[in-house]
Structure 1
Amino acid sequence: MMTLLRQFAFARYHRFASRDQVQSWQNKQLERHLQWVCEHSPFYQSLRNQPLEAFPIMNKSLMMANLDAINTRGLKTDQLMSVALKAEQSRQFEQSVVNSVTVGLSSGTSGQRGLFLADSREKQLWAGNILGKLLPGLWQKHRIALALRANSPLYKAVAKGPIQFFYADLNQPHDVWIRALDRFQPTLLIGSAQALQFCAMYSGTFGERKMSPARLISGAEVLTPVDRALIEQTFAGELHEVYQCTEGFLACTDTQGQMRWNQDIVHIEKHWLNPEKTHYSPIITDFRRRTQPIIRYQLDDVIAAQHDDAPFEPLGAIAGRCGDCLRLGQDGAQTMVLPDLVYRAVTLAIEERVDYRITQTDTQCLTIEALPQIHERIRDAVLGVLQTLGAGTVRFEYAPPPDWHPMNKQRRVVNLCKF
């Protein structure tokens, strides 16, 4: 409990004077952390006393292939995966523990499911950071609700003192979990962008009083402008964002509404995705994670760059997955289209809220799923982007609106084309 309180106080009240001070502080954290990891993780033992840039770039497939050697508790991947899958299938998430280590499972959107490991100390650190950065106020009781795909003992670490905690199981029919949320009346509602849209559309329609959270937190999916507008128009509470995944609690909205990297938790390197350096995929090193070290882990996400002089660096937007960038044209003459360019174009072209998905199925073919009466308007918006980028001829196909389910990630731009 003391670890949670100390981390809460640091996350909420510690202030860095400048970005230089942040970098100097991070360098000390990294030096200490890398030394500890190299002493306790078989995978990294050969890198003792080496600088961060000497460590290999990690990704999900490498992590899963080497997790037995990477983790510092001698845990075996097969057993961890078995326990995590059993907990998810039974929805008994409190059983997702091996040798006092909490085991979480990613959604597998990228095609492979990853594991998240945290011991009791790391759970307290995570809870302290979450509460310190996200809790609206201190001198009141809070009812925190999670509308996510899977519960975890990790989340229940935040249920302390005057804080009530509720998990809405999205695997149930939406009328069941939304009615339960209406009964709970959360003051803080945390959910995927899609789950928050369902709440906006259906809260108060199943015989209970409509919920009215003071703050809503969107995470786990891209929050497009059209999704944000629906949620903000329905609920009077503040809408913030978090960048939280199996790799860590990476970023969140500050008090001015700007998304910033949690650089008191993670170190960020940038892998630039275009010559103009407008978008990058982040390479993260978490200097709090010891059970499952996260060192130079390159995420598949597209981040829109933004710049200012505040101590913590801003994010322009979480703009989709690298794997869902559209790549149109033949080899050698391909044009890459970033997902957020498509989101923005559709939002500007169509004032009202529209439900759509745009999928690349071939090197020169896009399928638009939407109501028939807006197919052409979406096509024209996308064509405007393609013409600006100098893409070649593209063929369009059409289908009815996508059938979303909160248990599956909502991706409005998808690339299914195998090159």
Structure 2
Amino acid sequence: MIPLLRQFAFARYHRFASREQLLSWQNRQLERHLKWVCEHSPFYQSLRNQPLAAFPVMNKALMMAHLDAINTRGLKTEQLMSVALNAEQSRRFEQSVVNGVTVGLSSGTSGQRGLFLADPYEKQLWAGNILGKLLPGLWQKHRIALALRANSPLYKSVAKGPIQFFYADLNQPHDVWIRALDRFQPTLLIGSAQALQFCAMYSGTFGEPKMSPARIISGAEVLTPVDRALIEQAFSGELHEVYQCTEGFLACTDAQKQMRWNQDIVHIEKHWLNPEKTHYSPIITDFRRRTQPIIRYQLDDVIAAQHDDAPFEPLGAIAGRCGDCLRIGEERAQTVILPDLIYRAVTLAIAERVDYRITQTSSQCLTIEALPSFHDRIRDALSGLLQNLGAGAVRFEYAPPPDWNPMNKQRRVVNLCEF
């Protein structure tokens, strides 16, 4: 059986009886994977026969600094970056391949652009997982549309048999790519939260019939309650979420729309962000990826903790970036405010949809970007939140609503301070 079909069947039909069984199976995968990586990656050779806890915690800066030694194909970062940048600038993503390895480029939201590598076998595993977990039904033809910042040969690996594939280039004017999506009439629409909002607002307004996808999947950005409401009201299809980034296909919603870690692909460790252990940043180990090993890679994302007894562990929410937590007050007496608390406060205070962004520009100054009619209500919501958290007083400044561009990530809470 080819890897795609085998992985599709496993992702869609394999069931673990309990979390204990899953973790036992996962530990065997990890042991086998770490042994292979230490034999083939110069960076990890000295850690042969060591447990996972002995491996260094990785991040984007370290990955990029040591990618020549980390990757198992002898590829050079300088060449990989040149090929990826040329493909992105020319929008000819089929050229983003080096020695048979697909090269992708992250959006650089955290301040540094990262590379991801996948060989043909890993591309098939990725496609099998995506189709197994996300495809609405098997006995019908599917038209899958991606509304993302960059295309990749990786994405086209899902176009098999009765599956048609379409990439909407967000670098074009929105009337062009939305009209193209309307013409394609996807059954499965996958996009960033921001691109899906554009679809919700403008589909059907450029001379083509409005889209009516059976399933809509949001990924690559935080999906706030405000954004979810707009998309759900515009389309009658199911709205699901995926946690897909440069580092892998990490999580997705199940049939009950509960987001769960893909623990048949990745191992998760938690770096707790507060004493109450309500939020953490994930440290991931992907035991399927060999070309570019992802071992103990700490993401900059804030995850709201949630608990139940199902085999795959749930996520409460993807609550934003660690770097965009607000930090009110001077360094010795700062109150840290997680982004999802901001989303919740604004949602509870304002029933109708409001487009906004909250930006911290100094230790005691917040800028509210929104229509003037919402300024006071957002200020009052934030003031109440700060008071409840025991934060010091802040000064508010005001600006018009943010001018979103689908080619850049939508961040509703932004911290521009360097503490």
Shorter-chain TM-score: what band? over 0.9
Give the whole-Å Cα distance in 1 for the aligned partners of 2:151 and 2:118. 14
Give the whole-Å Cα distance in 2 for the aligned partners of 1:23 and 1:10. 16
Q: Residue in 2 aligned with 1:24?
A: 24
Q: Residue in 2 aligned with 1:198?
A: 198
Q: Residue in 2 aligned with 1:142?
A: 142
Give the residue type in structure 2 aligned to 1:92: R
Q: Residue in 1 aligned with 2:33?
A: 33
1:8-407 aligned at under 5 Å gives the runs 8-407=8-407
Shift of 1:51: 0.1
Give the whole-Å Cα distance in 2 for the aligned partners of 1:355 and 1:204. 22
Give CA deviations for 1:373-403 in whole Å, capped at 9, x if unaligned: 1101001111111111100010100000000
Give the whole-Å Cα distance in 1 for the aligned partners of 2:55 and 2:383. 42
Name the SS of the counterpart of 1:313 in structure 2: coil
Name the SS of the counterpart of 1:332 in structure 2: helix
Give the whole-Å Cα distance in 2 for the aligned partners of 1:310 and 1:218. 23
Give CA deviations for 1:166-201 in whole Å, capped at 9, x if unaligned: 000000000000000000000000000000000000
- How many residues get paired? 419
Unpaired runs of 5+ residues, structure 1, are none
Give the residue type in structure 2 aligned to 1:81: M
Shift of 1:363: 0.4
Give the whole-Å Cα distance in 2 for the aligned partners of 1:183 and 1:300. 37
Give CA deviations for 1:58-107 in whole Å, capped at 9, x if unaligned: 00000000000000000000000000000000000000000000000000
Give the whole-Å Cα distance in 1 for the aligned partners of 2:334 and 2:256. 39
Unpaired runs of 5+ residues, structure 2, are none
Give the residue type in structure 1 aligned to 2:183: R
- TM-score where L is the length of structure 2: 1.00
Give CA deviations for 1:20-68 in whole Å, capped at 9, x if unaligned: 0011000000000000000000000000000000000000000000000
Give CA deviations for 1:334-357 in whole Å, capped at 9, x if unaligned: 000000000000001000000000
Give the whole-Å Cα distance in 2 for the aligned partners of 1:383 and 1:49. 53
After TM superposition, the runs of 4+ consecutive aligned structure 1 residues lying more than 4 A away are none
Give the whole-Å Cα distance in 2 for the aligned partners of 1:389 and 1:46. 46
Shift of 1:331: 1.3
